[in-house]
């Protein structure tokens, strides 16, 4: 592969609804550009882009593939991203480095849910976009109807650049000519003089309009049959931005903390951003990065600001699917990769140490669904954590954590398909098979009552020859707006001050397991009011145990040692309440709000969004939304999405307490 500089590089994302033909288009551009001699097919599981076992078995893209193409003196780095909305992390990776995009639409189906989602993200990031009507070779495709659908959904700035057969219809189109003329005063003057533009001026104006997001050209073809692919490549070179066309990248200067701009030039100080990490047990770690400025050479040393280390750059390479194409050096604007540097990962900055900078990290959504896993083979227990660690390094939208309270090992992701992919990777890449269980909700316990002023006694006394153990405390317990507070009102030295920390320690230990179902206790203020000690037998351990006994007695009896009907501190169970932000099409608002009410949820707000969408803000018990990601998908035909975060703990309704105790009592 030849060396390319910024003005001859195009970085183009391939996006679209699942099944719109992105991988087939990627295969076609490789074949048409003569990068490959024989074209693969998704159904035959032999495409360049979908090379992992998981992708081949599901016949869909699950991880971003770099597809570099050389076309008429230009290098086009196509980035084929997954179409499933659950792999949003991959889309965020791609859009963080793409300078332009091709949004694919299956012409036999028109605009789908995933198409709208992709277009929305492209608009949010102001990325110049082509719309490619793929699969035009299918029977009964009605070009005018599909174009009308696209214009209705995406607005007045959508224009056909070709007819149904793929012939260019740019020249002689008055609307496009006016669109081009409006991009500069110079072009407008020329147009007003003759009411037309030269082809060169027309193309200049159209490119300018595309780059500013004021024009979305529509092209047609078939990736599967290689129809009009050469014309599409010509249009990418002509109209999508070169790396040098893109505005200088804002980046933080480490020495000053100021935000500066790095132009996409070879003679600028080097700066590059790692946007994609893959981890393979056999190949190792591969990091893909975009060079925003300067040059990166194999064998040179570079500084990694995120870990404050200098690394010697191993062999850099371009990637064609999984094939590595070795490079001696790469220049500003290019996208390349490096292996054998496991200390690097997504979001890291590579730069010159003397002019160190750091790019902003990519913002990823947090998991919206969790499952518990356990290895099917006991011998896999040790290697499962290492495998999960590598998978989380590869996919920032996936996380795993051990819940000490439920003893569950939890994995979290963006939906059922995403979780299924993680499990397949565990099996195929790391040879670990796991079983799947529902996540257990982590409750809390609290108290709603109060002991009398003097409190409840806890007395620990042990004598077995030699030095004994003696600790005696009286503790008042009451409800508290917080997790835990310890106070003391001891007079006359009945309990020496040096034992106060032991009493507090004992109480904290006691509150780790509540009296009802064994959940941690919060919302308690404990005040040491009185007690006694022995000059010889008292020690720290004795007062730790005495404090624990005081709590146990408070849970089991009333004040002053008298038995009462139920403990006066009135223990209760609390459940986690989550805040949800749900974005849906207006037509689903009623159904989603009604469903939220059935889940004991409370609507906090409802806001209209552009594009006929509504954002609902609600709070709801976590127990009611354990599988909400799957349910919302079903309610909204996969068009709805949501984020969640913990708010607080609230009392569990009385009718649900008994079941929780039965399910969780130790």
* Of 336, 358, 380, the domain-final residue: 358
- The predicted pLDDT at position 152 comes to 94
Q: How far is CA 3 from CA 7, 64, 235, 294, 359, in A?
A: 12, 23, 22, 14, 25
Give the C-alpha separation, 227 to 525, whole Å: 74
Residues 166 and 88 in one domain: yes
Residues 421 and 492 in one domain: no
Residues 459 and 385 in one domain: no
* Of 531, 561, 591, the domain-final residue: 561
Residues 498 and 644 in one domain: no
Contact assessment for residue 302 and residue 351, using Cβ atoms and an 8 Å cutoff: yes
CATH number at residue 650: 3.30.70.240
Contact assessment for residue 410 and residue 384, using Cβ atoms and an 8 Å cutoff: no
Classify residue 135 as left (phi > 0), alpha (psi -120 to 50) or beta.
left
> Has residue 206 been placed in a domain?
no
> Has residue 264 been placed in a domain?
yes
- DSSP bridge partners of 614: 584, 608
> Has residue 316 been placed in a domain?
yes
Could you please report the per-residue DSSP string of 277-322? EEEETTTEEEEEEEEEESEEETT-EEEEGGGTEEEE---EEEEETT
CATH number at residue 398: 3.30.70.870
SS3 154: helix
> Has residue 240 been placed in a domain?
yes
Q: How far is CA 529 from CA 474, 481, 603, in A?
A: 6, 21, 45
Residues 303 and 228 in one domain: no
- DSSP bridge partners of 252: 259, 358
Residues 597 and 556 in one domain: no
Residues 375 and 522 in one domain: no
Number of domains in the chain: 5
> Has residue 180 been placed in a domain?
no
Secondary-structure percent of the chain, ordered helix, strand, coil, rounded to 5: 30, 30, 35
**How does pLDDT run across 276-301, given as a tens digit for each residue?**
999 987 788 999 999 999 999 999 99
Contact assessment for residue 220 and residue 168, using Cβ atoms and an 8 Å cutoff: no
Name the residue among 287, 290, 449 with its Cα closest to residue 359: 290
- The predicted pLDDT at position 379 comes to 84
Q: How far is CA 60 from CA 65, 81, 416, in A?
A: 12, 10, 15
Q: How far is CA 461 from CA 497, 556, 614, in A?
A: 20, 20, 65
- The predicted pLDDT at position 1 comes to 87
- The predicted pLDDT at position 42 comes to 93
Name the residue among 639, 635, 649 with its Cα closest to residue 596: 635
Give the C-alpha separation, 611 to 152, whole Å: 11
- The predicted pLDDT at position 557 comes to 62
Give the C-alpha separation, 652 to 524, whole Å: 17
> 379: burial class by Cβ within 10 Å (0-12, 13-18, 19+)?
exposed
Give the C-alpha separation, 653 to 176, whole Å: 63
Residues 277 and 218 in one domain: no
> Has residue 77 been placed in a domain?
yes
Q: Which two tokens stand for residue 655?
A: 């009718």
- DSSP bridge partners of 110: none
CATH number at residue 454: 3.30.230.10
Residues 487 and 400 in one domain: no
Residues 345 and 289 in one domain: yes
**How does pLDDT run across 523-535, given as a tens digit for each residue?**
999 999 999 999 9
- DSSP bridge partners of 288: 276, 337
- The predicted pLDDT at position 280 comes to 81
Sign of CA dihedral 297, 299, 302, 308: positive
- What is the pTM (predicted TM-score) of this model? 0.88
Classify residue 651 as left (phi > 0), alpha (psi -120 to 50) or beta.
beta
Which regions of the chain are under pLDDT 70? 465-466, 557-567, 665-666
**Enclosing domain of residue 514:** 446-561
> Has residue 342 been placed in a domain?
yes
> Tokens 């990637």 sit at which residue?
319
CATH number at residue 277: 2.40.30.10
Contact assessment for residue 122 and residue 101, using Cβ atoms and an 8 Å cutoff: yes
> Tokens 């009462």 sit at which residue?
564
- The predicted pLDDT at position 558 comes to 41
* Of 399, 414, 440, the domain-final residue: 440
Residues 12 and 119 in one domain: yes
Contact assessment for residue 241 and residue 214, using Cβ atoms and an 8 Å cutoff: no
Sign of CA dihedral 649, 653, 658, 662: negative
Residues 434 and 454 in one domain: no
> Has residue 251 been placed in a domain?
no
CATH number at residue 150: 3.40.50.300
């Amino acid at each position: 592969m030849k060396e390319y500089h910024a003005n001859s590089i195009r970085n183009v994302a391939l996006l679209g609804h699942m099944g719109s033909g992105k991988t087939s288009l990627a295969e076609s551009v490789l074949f048409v550009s003569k990068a490959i001699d024989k074209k693969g097919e998704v159904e035959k599981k032999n495409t360049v882009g979908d090379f992992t076992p998981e992708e081949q078995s599901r016949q869909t893209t699950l991880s971003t593939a770099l597809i570099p193409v050389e076309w008429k003196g230009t290098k086009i780095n196509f980035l084929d991203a997954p179409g499933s909305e659950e792999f949003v992390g991959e889309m965020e990776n791609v859009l963080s480095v793409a300078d332009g995009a091709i949004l694919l639409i299956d012409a036999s189906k028109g605009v789908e849910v995933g198409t709208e989602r992709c277009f929305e993200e492209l608009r949010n990031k102001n990325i110049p976009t082509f719309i490619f009507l793929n699969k035009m070779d299918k029977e009964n495709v009605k070009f005018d109807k599909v174009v009308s659908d696209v214009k209705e959904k995406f607005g007045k700035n959508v224009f056909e650049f070709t007819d149904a057969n793929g012939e260019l219809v740019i020249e002689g189109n008055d609307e496009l000519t006016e669109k081009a003329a409006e991009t500069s005063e110079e072009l407008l003057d020329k147009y007003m003089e003759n009411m037309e533009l030269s082809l060169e001026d027309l193309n200049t104006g159209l490119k300018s309009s595309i780059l500013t997001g004021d024009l979305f050209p529509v092209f047609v073809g078939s990736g599967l049959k290689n129809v009009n692919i050469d014309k599409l490549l010509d249009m990418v070179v002509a109209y999508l931005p070169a790396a040098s066309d893109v505005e200088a990248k804002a980046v933080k200067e480490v020495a000053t903390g100021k935000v500066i701009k790095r132009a996409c030039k070879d003679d600028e100080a080097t700066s590059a951003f790692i946007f994609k990490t893959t981890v393979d047990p056999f190949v190792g770690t591969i990091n893909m990065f975009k060079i925003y400025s300067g040059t990166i050479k194999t064998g040179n040393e570079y500084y990694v600001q995120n870990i404050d280390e200098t690394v010697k750059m191993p062999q850099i390479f371009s990637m064609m699917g999984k094939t590595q194409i070795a490079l001696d050096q790469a220049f500003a604007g290019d996208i390349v990769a490096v292996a054998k540097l496991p200390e690097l990962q997504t979001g890291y900055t590579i730069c010159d140490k003397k002019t160190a900078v750091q790019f902003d990290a990519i913002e990823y959504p947090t998991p919206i669904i969790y499952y518990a896993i356990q290895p099917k083979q006991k011998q896999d227990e040790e290697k499962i954590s290492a495998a999960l660690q590598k998978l989380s390094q590869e996919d920032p939208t996936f996380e795993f954590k051990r819940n000490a309270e439920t003893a569950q090992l939890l994995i979290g992701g963006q939906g059922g398909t995403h979780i299924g992919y993680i499990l397949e990777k565990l099996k195929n890449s790391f040879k670990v098979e796991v079983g799947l269980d529902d996540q257990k909700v982590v409750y809390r316990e609290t108290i709603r009552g109060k002991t009398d002023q003097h409190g409840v006694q806890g007395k620990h006394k042990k004598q077995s020859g030699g030095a004994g153990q003696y600790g005696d405390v009286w503790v008042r317990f009451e409800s508290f707006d917080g997790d835990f507070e310890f106070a003391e009102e001891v007079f006359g030295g009945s309990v020496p001050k040096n034992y106060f920390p032991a009493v507090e320690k004992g109480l904290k230990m006691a509150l780790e397991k509540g009296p009802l179902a064994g959940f941690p206790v919060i919302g308690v203020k404990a005040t040491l009011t009185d007690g006694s000690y022995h000059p010889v037998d008292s020690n720290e351990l004795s007062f730790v145990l005495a404090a624990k006994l005081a709590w146990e007695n408070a849970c089991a009896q009333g004040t002053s040692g008298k038995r009462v009907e139920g403990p006066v501190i009135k223990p209760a169970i609390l459940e986690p309440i989550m805040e949800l932000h749900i974005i849906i099409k207006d037509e689903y608002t009623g159904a989603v709000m009604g469903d939220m009410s059935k889940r004991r949820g409370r609507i906090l707000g409802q806001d209209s969004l552009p594009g006929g969408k509504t954002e609902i803000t609600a709070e709801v018990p976590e127990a009611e939304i354990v599988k909400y990601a799957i349910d919302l998908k079903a309610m909204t035909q996969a068009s709805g999405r949501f984020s969640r975060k913990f708010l607080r703990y609230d009392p569990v309704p009385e009718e649900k307490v008994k079941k929780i105790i039965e399910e969780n009592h130790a």
